[in-house]
Structure formats: structure tokens, C-alpha cells
Amino acid sequence: MNLLFHETFHLLFSLLTGFIVWKIWSKIWASFLPALMGGLFIDLDHLLDYYLVLGFNFKIENILNGVYFSESGKAYVLFHGWEYVLTFITLVFMFKNKTAKSLFLALALGITLHLFIDMASYNVPMQKYSVFFRAGQGFSTKEITEERKINTSRTGSHGKNKKEEFQQVQGSEE
């Protein structure tokens, strides 16, 4: 799936989540902002993975093709986890304040929809979106992706794998 199209799905479902939570508790900022944080901005954890592998050598093509995963053999993506959903749902029931309830429900639903969109887009099983599961596997991309074929829409337009693309990009700069 094209990354821009994929992120547009995240944005639309985040806005829908914010709208639903706003309709429940009428707290506009405690609905839309956390929904966007949980549904769209959790992808900022990819920048951490990128930095750990390639440092400040920022190139948009390396972000878009996910080469930092294949170069390091690791996928931390620490904000992508069902553990957060369970925590935020628990907090919804712990608070009586409508603002707090809105905030935690919007976060939980935003993350939930984000993870389901990612699971459907990249054909990754549910348990592999657990931070604890990934930690138990050493955050190894091999362990995380062993059950699926690499999604061809995330590889290069000429059938190259991410590592070949990265090497080609690095070679063209020298």
C-alpha cells in the first residue's frame, strides 16, 4: 500500500474516532487531539528506529521504504502496542471525569484502529503488535515477519528488496 494512502487512512479513522468520542462526552479537545495522537502520531516511533540505525543522516526515501528495519534487523516501533490500548481502556473505567474519560477512550480507540489498519495493510498477526512479544523476540524483524511474505507495495518499484534499495541510494550519493 502506498505510504501516503496508508497515512491518509490513519488520519481519517483518527478523525472519525475523535468525532465519536466527542459525541459521547462533548469534550472536543479531549477527543480529537488524543485520537490523532493514538491513530496517526504513533507512527513517529518510526523516526526513533530510523535514528538508531542511520542517525541524523535523514533521507525521506529511507523513511518511506523502511530500509532502517532491514539494515538493523530490528523493529522497535515502541508506540505500536496492544499494551497501551489495555492501559487506556482501564483508565477510562478508573476516572469519573468526562475529560479524562474522553482522553483515554480516544487514545485507546485511535491506537486500536491504527493497529488494525497496519495489520491489514502489512499482513502481520495481532500478537506481533505487542511490545512485550517483540521484546521477547529481541525486536528481531526476522522473528516478527517470518510468517508473512514481504508486502510488495513496500518494496521498490523494480522488485528490489529494501536492502538493495538502500545500497543503491547510498551508492548514488558517492
- Better-scored residue on pLDDT, 1 or 148: 1
CB atoms within 10 A of CB 85: 19
Judged against a pLDDT cut of 50, whether residue 45 lies above it is answered with yes
Q: Mean pLDDT for the chain?
A: 86
Q: How many CA atoms lie within 13 A of 110 on its CB side?
A: 29
What CA–CA distance (Å, rounded) separates 43 from 35?
Answer: 13
- Residue 37: how many CB atoms within 10 A of its CB? 18
CA-CA distance, 101 to 114, in Å (whole number)? 20
**Is the pTM here over 0.85, yes or no?**
no
With cut-offs at 50, 70 and 90, classify the pLDDT of residue 65: confident
